[in-house]
Amino acid sequence: MRLLGQILVETVFKNDVDTKGFLRIAEEAGRNNIEYVASVYKDLLDGKSISQPNRLLVVGRYYNSIKNYSIDIKLAGEKLRVAYVGAKQDNFDLETYQVDSFFWWLDYDESAKRVRLPGYPPRNTSH
């Protein structure tokens, strides 16, 4: 996005725009983003210390300190799911990370299905 903004500013001020240079930088930034996303997911999987917690111990509604925001942790078959403020449409399957922490991961297809901007192209969705 910053590159696009820079091109717009340069164009508005009628400055010379090195389109080949911007394209090269944009392609490199895209590759770096894809590699970063894959690296984060790999690090999460490598950092897992437990695979199956006692799911019933974490099921419930949790509030922030001023009680104006909550998340629900529910059991959905064999999986735990998180829902923000009890919303039915935005639920995410949780993966255990450490003894008392979890994460979720949306691949490209799931992001598209939920009409969310994916952070990476479909060719990097395997895990």
The domain limits of the chain are 1-46, 49-127
Tell me which residue has tokens 């829902």: 83
Please give the pLDDT value at position 127: 46
**What is the model's pLDDT at position 119?**
61
3-class SS of residue 91: strand
So what's the pLDDT on residue 73? Answer: 93
Assess contact for 80 and 94: CB atoms under 8 A.
yes
Prediction pTM value: 0.62
Helix (H, G, I), strand (E, B) or coil at 90: coil
What pLDDT shows up at residue 59?
A: 92
Structure tokens belonging to residue 11: 């164009």
Give me the tens of pLDDT residue by residue for the chain, a chain 127 residues long.
Answer: 677 788 889 889 988 888 898 889 889 988 888 888 889 889 988 988 876 766 778 899 999 999 999 999 999 888 889 998 878 777 899 988 887 788 888 877 887 787 776 665 665 444 4
Distance CA 34, CA 87 (A): 30
By C-alpha distance, which of 42, 20, 29 is closest to 103? 42
pLDDT score for 125:
46
Count how many residues are written for the chain: 127
Half-sphere exposure of 86 (CA within 13 A, CB side): 5
**Alpha-helical runs (H) found in the chain:** 2-12, 19-46, 108-113
pLDDT at 7 (0 to 100): 83
Cα→Cα distances 45→32, 53, 103, Å = 20, 16, 10
Which two three-digit tokens encode residue 10?
């340069």
